[in-house]
């Protein structure tokens, strides 16, 4: 499936969009980690939870559960949430 990578993580992929595989978001990030070491840790913490500043959209719908099921034709967007005061 196609995965949109935010600018802050493109130092890992060198591309704005990559292909990845997995039946769940967790498996998708495992696949991305195999090909782009270090990327998963920037998105998923040590407890296997999405980091608070990360947002994941599957076909335009926000998802927070890494066990969310995926289909091969899904479009996954990884978005870095803005913060400030």
> What is the architecture of the domain spanning 2-80?
Roll (3.10)
Q: What is the pLDDT of residue 10?
A: 96
What's CA 64's distance to the chain center, in Å? 11
Q: What is the pLDDT of residue 83?
A: 61
How would you write the pLDDT of the chain (85 residues) with one tens digit per residue? 999 999 999 999 999 999 999 999 999 999 999 999 999 999 999 999 999 999 999 999 999 999 999 999 999 999 998 765 5
Q: What is the pLDDT of residue 81?
A: 82
Q: Where are the domains of the chain?
A: 2-80
């Amino acid at each position: 499936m196609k995965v949109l990578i935010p600018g802050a993580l493109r130092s890992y992929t060198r591309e704005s969009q990559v292909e990845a595989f997995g039946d769940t978001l967790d498996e998708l990030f495992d696949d991305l980690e195999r090909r782009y070491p270090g990327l998963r840790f920037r998105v998923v913490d040590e407890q296997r939870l999405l980091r608070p500043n990360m947002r994941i959209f599957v076909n335009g719908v926000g998802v927070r559960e890494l066990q969310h099921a995926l289909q091969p034709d899904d479009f996954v967007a990884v978005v870095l949430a803005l913060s400030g005061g």
